[in-house]
Amino acid sequence: MQITNKFTLTLPARSSNESFARACISAFATQLDPTIEEISDIKTAVSEAVTNCIVHAYKEQVLGKIYITAFLQDNNSIKIKIRDKGCGIANIEQAMEPLYTSVGGERAGLGFAVMESFMDSVKVSSVVGKGTTITMTKKISPRISVNG
C-alpha cells in the first residue's frame, strides 16, 4: 500500500482541541471524495479517540499532548493514528468491550464500540505508564460520476 499524503498534528490534551482535531482530519479526508456519511463516521471515531486521550490518558489535566498522524493511501483509504503518552491501558480486551468503562457516572463505555462500528479497523496498542496508540482505517467508496 502506497501512502499518497500525510499530515501530523500535536496538540495539548484539552477538551477545546477535540473539535479542532476532528475538523482537521475531516478536511484532510475530503481529498478522498467521501460521502457526507463517511466524513461523519470518521469525525465521530476521531472524536471518541481524542476524548479518551483527554479524559482517561491524562485524567483531564492540560499537561499532556495528543499526537495525531493521518495518511491517505492509494486504495482510497485513510489511516489515522491517535497517540498519547498517558497512563496506558492494562487490559485492552476489557477496555474494548462495549459498556466497559473505568469511570462510573456520565461515561457510557461505548467509545471503542463506536470507533469499531464507524471504521473498517481499529487497533489499540498500549503500555501502562507509557501511553496508548489507536490506529484506525477506513476505505472511502469510489464515487460514480453522473456527468460521464
Ligand X SMILES: Nc1ncnc2c1ncn2[C@@H]1O[C@H](COP(=O)(O)OP(=O)(O)OP(=O)(O)O)[C@@H](O)[C@H]1O
Q: Which residues bind Mg ion (CB under 5 A)?
A: 52, 111
Cα distances (angstroms) measured from residue 25 to each of 22, 35, 67, 73 = 5, 15, 13, 14
Among 110, 116, 135, 139, binds ligand X (CB under 6 A): 110
**Counting contacts by CB under 6 A, is residue 44 touching ligand X?**
no
Active site residues: 48, 52, 107
Cα distances (angstroms) measured from residue 116 to each of 10, 38, 45, 60 = 24, 14, 8, 24
Binding segment for ligand X (CB under 6 A), chosen from 2-10, 50-58, 72-80, 136-144, is: 50-58
DSSP class of residue 144? P
List of residues contacting ligand X (CB under 6 A): 48, 52-53, 56-57, 84, 86-87, 89, 95, 100-103, 107-112, 132
